[in-house]
Amino acid sequence: MSGPGVPAASVADVEVAAMRRALELARRGPEHDVNPRVGCVLLRDGVVVGEGWHRGAGTPHAEVAALADARGRGEPTAGATAVVTLEPCDHTGRTGPCSLALLEAGVARVVVSVTDPNPVAAGGAARLRAAGVDVVTGVLDDEGRAVLGAWVATVERARPFVTLKTATSLDGRVAAPDGSSRWITSAVARRHAHELRAEVDAIVVGTGTALRDDPSLTARDAAGGLVAHQPLRVVVGRRAVPDAARLRGPGGELVELRTHDPAAVLEALGARGVRTVLVEGGPTLAAAFLRAGLVDEVHAYVAPVLLGAGAPAVADLGVATLGDAVRLRPTSVLPLGPDVLVVATPVPRAPLTVPPHEEV
């Protein structure tokens, strides 16, 4: 078995090359699907005899697609090596177990990038080994996890992956004292933020933001048009969204969740098949997710502007002393015109106490 991102010693160069090809194939799968993006390449005597990738829920898995491709080419599969980006599943859902499909095809060796963290589907490697198939896992693991994206974190944490987005002045304000907030960041930063929206399954704001700012929460292209994928627009809180609100206009489905509990929000969205959540505001909602320890990544757009007063990006976190601060570990810094995007992950810590009955 190999370490993260490093080919296993027992893996041939041709198999590593096949894994890179399988990762390319996996990226062809749908980004917004309840199932992971998986690719598979079949080798016989070092030659590719079949390729496949998962095209979405209810369609053949990558291994089955690759086997079908080999049959279509008139290539035998007995004794072949299957190079696959995710451990073959061992359960029956809309399709049958890939482990059994590989056994029935006579595959003699399976090279895997990422072992399946899903306890419902895992076990394919064990079944294959028990049947005498040579199985190697962990090949290009880092690359494999990168292609799987938030799906891995969603399965491992049993909830959607949460990104907190802020757009602030240099002194951490999201609005001036009179409430004006358009625009603190530049057009370049806002364009990038729309690209981020287009990548997620749901955007979440509190009722305070929805009523005060009347946002549309859509993902738009450079020309201002709606992109093909529109995330769910989720409003959290007790107050209703007005009938004339822009949130009821063109864009993703509007979901109103009458709760102040971030865990309940994620549970409700997870039940809808949501894997990635973008929390956009306001300050009280951001603080609630941070206090609950339910933020996986922070995207902080910072403009070279000083306001000196006005609403902060994050409300009271219950931090009484510097030692209690929520610490972040930066992973990247990206200049965007005059602005800067800082991407960071919270350092794990115990959740902070959440004050009851807050209006978000």
Give per-residue pLDDT as tens, 63-115: 999 999 999 999 999 999 999 999 999 887 767 789 999 999 999 999 999 99
Do 35 and 140 have their domain in common?
yes
CATH number for the domain spanning 85: value is 3.40.140.10
Residue (of 192, 248, 244, 240) closest to 220 by Cα position: 192
Give which of 278, 112, 153, 149 is closest to 205, Cα–Cα: 278
Cα–Cα distance for residue pair 174/48, rounded to 1 Å: 54
Which pTM was predicted? 0.76
8 A C-beta contact, residue 35 and residue 204: no
- Residue 356 domain-assigned (yes or no): no
Domain assignment present for residue 358? The answer is no
Catalytic residue among 15, 51, 63, 87: 63
- Grade residue 350 by pLDDT with cuts at 50, 70 and 90: low
CATH number of the domain bearing residue 251:
3.40.430.10
Looking at the domain assignment, is residue 23 inside a domain? Answer: yes
Token digits of residue 131: 């049947």
Which pLDDT band, with edges at 50, 70 and 90, does 357 fall under? very low
pLDDT recorded at residue 7:
46
Please tell me whether residues 100 and 194 are part of one structural domain.
no
Question: With the CA atoms of 112, 117, 121 and 122 taken in that order, what torsion angle do they form, in degrees rounded to the nearest 10?
Answer: 60
Q: Which of 154, 171, 190 is the last residue in one of the domains?
A: 154
Asked if 260 contacts 240 with a C-beta cutoff of 8 angstroms, the reply is no
Q: Distance between CA atoms of 110 and 15, rounded to whole angstroms?
A: 10
* Furthest C-alpha separation in the chain: 72
Q: Are residues 82 and 178 in the same domain?
A: no
φ, ψ for residue 77 (rounded to 5)? -110, -10
The Cα-based distances of 9 to 47, 136, 146 in angstroms read 20, 10, 22
pLDDT of the residue at 251: 94
Q: Which of 173, 165, 258, 181 is nearest to 214 (CA)?
A: 181
Q: Which domain holds residue 140?
A: 13-154
Same domain, yes or no, for 268 and 308? yes
Tell whether 140 and 203 lie within a shared domain.
no
Instruction: Answer yes or no: is 7 within a domain.
Output: no
- Domain total of the chain: 2
182 and 317 housed in the same domain: yes
* 235 shares a domain with 94: no
Task: Answer yes or no: 63 catalytic.
Answer: yes
Decide which of 154, 182, 203 is a domain's last residue: 154
Query: For the chain, what percentages of helix, strand and coil (3-state, to nearest 5) are there?
Result: 30, 25, 50
Same domain, 190 and 337: yes
Last residue of a domain, one of 154, 183, 203: 154
Report if residue 108 sits inside a domain: yes
133 in the same domain as 75 = yes
What is 137-186 written as a DSSP string?
--TTHHHHHHHHTHHHHHHHHTS-EEEEEEEE-TTSBSS-TTS--TTSS-
